[in-house]
Amino acid sequence: MHLYDDRREKISKENHRLSVIFKMLIKNWPGDKIYLRELVELLGKRGYGLIIFILSLPNLLPVILPGMSTAFGIPIIFLSLQLMLGAKKPWLPKFISNRAVNHKDFSKLMQPLLPYIEQTEHLLKPRLLALSFFPSQNVIGFLMFILAILLSLPLPGTGIVLAIPLILLSLGLLERDGIFLILGFISGLCVGIGIVILFWELIRSMIHFII
């Protein structure tokens, strides 16, 4: 039990960079499964950025299984809503927080991505810090909330384009990087507006065809 707590304490240190946290999750995690509730508990206020980052990543895969975007989008809705409302630490309902990923599967997914994450970290640094706090953080939470709703809808081909701004914004939150937050905000606005317009026109065309 002492070893379990010791490993969890190492992972929960706030000064760790993203790649270091993932390496610790891969090498030091004491259990066979990683539960969302454990990540939320360990990471505290940093949990917003890290968990949204993890939940957005699978949408970049070339093959998306039916319902996968919805499964990952719903937890992001809860997290981004709390971020928008200014909650200091994330909270998830039990039916979401009790979800778990097999530690071996998580390791297989993350190991090939670690070099790319480390390369990205060279671009990340604390700057334009005002964008990482109230009221900017609340506005960012609102945009992520809208993007997460769109991600959860069964809209074919939208998973990747919605995941990109979510990943940029989550990285910006994690490292307090205002440039990444700006890039994520602009791309998120463009993607969100574009998807809404596209499907509104599609609905109009269908109605016009029926009438």
Per residue in 83-140, pLDDT (tens digit) is: 999 888 888 888 888 888 888 888 888 888 888 888 888 899 999 988 888 899 999 9
pLDDT 10s digits, 178-207: 999 999 999 999 999 999 898 888 888 888
The Cα–Cα gap between 120 and 122 comes to 5
Expressed in angstroms, the distance from the first to the final Cα of the chain is 68
Cα 145–chain centre separation = 11
Task: State how many domains the chain has.
Answer: 1
Q: State the CB neighbour count (10 A cutoff) for residue 111.
A: 12
Question: In whole angstroms, how far apart are CA 43 and each of 57, 68, 112, 201?
Answer: 18, 25, 23, 42
How many Å apart are CA 137 and CA 84, to the nearest integer?
Answer: 7
Rounded Cα–Cα distance for residues 13 and 102 (Å): 23
Which of 35-39, 104-108, 156-160, 170-174 has maximum average pLDDT?
A: 170-174
Asked whether 77 and 55 are in contact (CB, 8 A), the reply is no
14 with 44: CB under 8 angstroms?
Answer: yes
- Write out the residue range of the structural domain in which residue 11 sits: 2-210
Q: Is 100 exposed, middle or buried (0-12, 13-18, 19+ CB in 10 A)?
A: middle
Q: Convert 21-48 to b/e letters by CB count within 10 Å (16 or more is b).
A: bbbbbbeebeeeebebbbbbebbeebbb
